[in-house]
Structure 1
Amino acid sequence: MARTLAALPKAELHIHVEGTLEPDLAFEIAQRNGISLPYRSPDELRDAYDFVDLQSFLDVYFVAGGALRTPRDFHDLAWAYLERAHRDAVAHVELFFDPQAHLARGIALDEIVGGLSAALAEARETWDMSGSLIACFLRDRPAADAMAVLEEIIELDSPDIVGVGLDSTEVGYPPALFRDVFARAFEAGLHRVSHAGEEAPHTYIVEALDALRIERVDHGVRAIDSPELIERLARDGVALTMCPLSNKRLHVTPDLRDHPIRALVDQGVKVTINSDDPSYFGGYIADNYAAVREVLGLTDDEAAQFARTSIDVSFAPPVRKAQLHALVDGWLADEG
């Protein structure tokens, strides 16, 4: 009998905290803050999750996220995700957040980060779950805005913020627009990741590698279109943080049987399994592992290798990585 994937210790490296906002919590927070959402109930909000592409998702995503106003809100949002992640045996998380979306509503960076950091601290104390934050820039906003936010991040000097990323609307906003922003992040000692090759072509991945000097590619589905890029990713050990159920829901790969995850792994590319925006896409991380198992016939050893890869390509310190690998060893050894 296959071991339970929800018990497999793993790291989650592609998870947007705003994308974990479940409808019930969105309404609870909105009511607490005296905010009216353009939906009559949590069920009506949930019914709006009929996405045809990335932009149709983002339109709902930013409306629901508008309920978040206080450090308590950001704490409660992150804590709800961390509780759920703990049930899926997530032992390390690198949590994306979109500071620009909240700064534009007049919320101070230290309040956003303070709430998220408080939840991470509780998770460390409660479950020994390690974690950090990655601040993502919205690529459909000017690079100058991203640079201003980056300077705020550097000045804040939060030990929990370990890196920066690039997300939101992809097509028409190539990575090179943010070359100077990521150069400044590199100078400041921050890790760098970027969404690329989700809806845009594989050339966006190449550009992100060259112009932004990223260490991981978020999504990277279209890498499968370029043998030269696959060879480069495998040779340089650049990992793809893939999100199968997200790709299915946004019609990137409508049929998971066509998902390139196995073909990429078979060609030596490091790939991790993640949930992206699980509230909206109907699947947290163990659900994504289970979907890959069902469609691709994932064995226990292969599932464990995905988990090991997620540990290896995380930004956790070496001592923590060794601890996490020991947890995976224990899962494999468990015959029950």
Structure 2
Amino acid sequence: MSEFIEKLPKVELHMHIEGAMMPDLMLQLAEKNHIKLPYQTLEEVEAAYQFKDLTAFINLYLQGTEVIQSAEDFYVLTQSYLDRCAAQNIRHAEVFCDIRTYVERGLPPEMVLDGIEAGFAEARDRHGISGGMLGTFIRHLGVDKAAEDWHFYQQHAERLLGIGLAAIEVGYPASQFKAIFDQVHAAGLPVVAHAGEEGPATYIWSAIHDAGVSRIDHGIRALDDPKLVQFLQQTQIPLTVCPCSNVSLHVFEHMNQHVIKQMLDLGLNVTINSDDPAHFGAFLQENMVAVQRHCGITDDDLIRMTYNAIDASFADQPRKTELSDELDQYLEQVLAPVG
């Protein structure tokens, strides 16, 4: 592990909270809530986390959501992730979660916000970590479900950092949700959308024009469209790239094929993130190590992506200034001449 990476103050903008559930926590919550899993031992759960394809990943992810039954469970999960953030010197984190997964099981949507909010409150007190939740629409469940979810999110807008669009991308461009996102903007919440991961560059254009996004989650297919690259160079819309996730889900077969270095060299506003770190075996720090080892990413690139993440975050301006100052001070210490 690079000491520079280990001590670098970090910011994470693209992480699904259920994707931070480690195998031991899955077993713990399953036992607490009397949920029967297809695994009997920790070793069996750990083996399941070595999934071979997208279907196996989705099944594993859904099993993780099934063991969450209360605000307390969300609190424990969020606390677990933010403790990991503290160990990796992540100073600000923004996490995705939807309510639909739990509402469909007859659980109250308030438990999602209550549990995640409590976890962040404790992390602020214990570790000085800022951040919060991005309410999420599950795009493949359609516009009507998203409209129902927006009705709830709108009532709790002050508790959210923003609204995102996630899940199965192909077949569900942001244009289908334009009317809802118009309402989100009218309510004063920023919008982000997963686009250009499995879907083509046209889905990124749709996220920009139809959803009015402040950030694009993933965005790696932007390089397929020179006009889009030029637009992103000019506008500097942030891209929350998740390298280890892309390799685990076979968007790229090997990390040395990843385009993150090319994106940076083209002047795009790239940030680095973990997506579903427990499932992909790589939290933010491990993603940084992987791209430095296999993609030609330098320490200067990591510094640039961290400043990008601070600017792209939904922290208020005083907190952004604090984060920038903390990074400045670390770099002054690291780069100070010896002797």
Preserved CA contact (<8 Å) 1:94 1:133: yes
Q: Unpaired segments of 5 or more residues in structure 1? A: none
Match in the other structure for 1:200: 199
Match in the other structure for 2:235: 236
CA distance in 1, matches of 2:284, 2:294: 16
1:291 aligns with 2:290: yes
Preserved CA contact (<8 Å) 1:54 1:169: no
The Cα shift of 1:327 comes to 1.2
Match in the other structure for 1:212: 211
Q: How far does the alpha carbon of each residue in 1:176-215 deviate from its partner, in whole angstroms, 9 at most, with x for none?
A: 1111121111111111001111111111111111111111
Preserved CA contact (<8 Å) 1:164 1:185: yes
Match in the other structure for 2:99: 99
CA distance in 2, matches of 1:179, 1:51: 35
Match in the other structure for 1:135: 135
Q: How far does the alpha carbon of each residue in 1:40-63 deviate from its partner, in whole angstroms, 9 at most, with x for none?
A: 223222322344554442222012
User: Residue 75 of structure 2 aligns to a residue in which SS?
Assistant: helix
What amino acid does structure 1 have at the position aligned with 2:143? Answer: A
User: Residue 140 of structure 1 aligns to a residue in which SS?
Assistant: helix
Q: Which residues of 2 match residues 221-232 of structure 1 at below 5 A? A: 221-232=220-231
Q: How far does the alpha carbon of each residue in 1:239-274 deviate from its partner, in whole angstroms, 9 at most, with x for none?
A: 110000000111101222221111111111100000
Preserved CA contact (<8 Å) 1:37 1:64: no
Match in the other structure for 2:244: 245
Preserved CA contact (<8 Å) 2:94 2:132: yes
Match in the other structure for 2:36: 36
What amino acid does structure 2 have at the position aligned with 1:59? Answer: N
Match in the other structure for 1:18: 18
Preserved CA contact (<8 Å) 1:96 1:136: yes
CA distance in 1, matches of 2:149, 2:143: 10
CA distance in 1, matches of 2:9, 2:172: 36
Preserved CA contact (<8 Å) 2:261 2:296: no
What amino acid does structure 2 have at the position aligned with 1:223? Answer: A
CA distance in 2, matches of 1:51, 1:201: 25
What amino acid does structure 1 have at the position aligned with 2:263? Answer: L
What amino acid does structure 1 have at the position aligned with 2:145? Answer: D
Preserved CA contact (<8 Å) 2:139 2:168: yes
Moved more, 291-300 or 177-186: 291-300
Q: How far does the alpha carbon of each residue in 1:290-325 deviate from its partner, in whole angstroms, 9 at most, with x for none?
A: 111112333322211111111011111111111101
1:273 aligns with 2:266: no
Preserved CA contact (<8 Å) 1:3 1:300: no
Q: Which residues of 2 match residues 19-98 of structure 1 at below 5 A? A: 19-98=19-98
Moved more, 173-182 or 12-21: 173-182
Preserved CA contact (<8 Å) 2:95 2:133: yes
What amino acid does structure 2 have at the position aligned with 1:289? Answer: M
Preserved CA contact (<8 Å) 2:163 2:189: yes
The Cα shift of 1:3 comes to 4.1
CA distance in 2, matches of 1:173, 1:52: 25
User: Residue 36 of structure 2 aligns to a residue in which SS?
Assistant: coil
Preserved CA contact (<8 Å) 1:301 1:332: no
CA distance in 2, matches of 1:285, 1:9: 11
Q: Unpaired segments of 5 or more residues in structure 2? A: none
The Cα shift of 1:38 comes to 2.2
TM-score normalised by length of structure 1: 0.96
Q: Which residues of 2 match residues 297-312 of structure 1 at below 5 A? A: 297-312=296-311
Match in the other structure for 1:329: 328
Preserved CA contact (<8 Å) 1:52 1:251: no
CA distance in 2, matches of 1:2, 1:69: 39
CA distance in 2, matches of 1:118, 1:20: 16
TM-score normalised by length of structure 2: 0.95
CA distance in 1, matches of 2:4, 2:280: 22
Preserved CA contact (<8 Å) 2:116 2:132: no
Preserved CA contact (<8 Å) 1:300 1:332: no
Preserved CA contact (<8 Å) 1:110 1:156: no
Match in the other structure for 1:110: 110
Q: How far does the alpha carbon of each residue in 1:133-177 deviate from its partner, in whole angstroms, 9 at most, with x for none?
A: 1011111102111111111111134x3312111111112222211
CA distance in 2, matches of 1:147, 1:38: 34
1:169 aligns with 2:202: no
Moved more, 174-183 or 244-253: 174-183
Q: Percent identity?
A: 37
Number of matched pairs: 335
Preserved CA contact (<8 Å) 1:10 1:308: no
Match in the other structure for 2:182: 183
What amino acid does structure 2 have at the position aligned with 1:225? Answer: D
Preserved CA contact (<8 Å) 2:220 2:241: yes
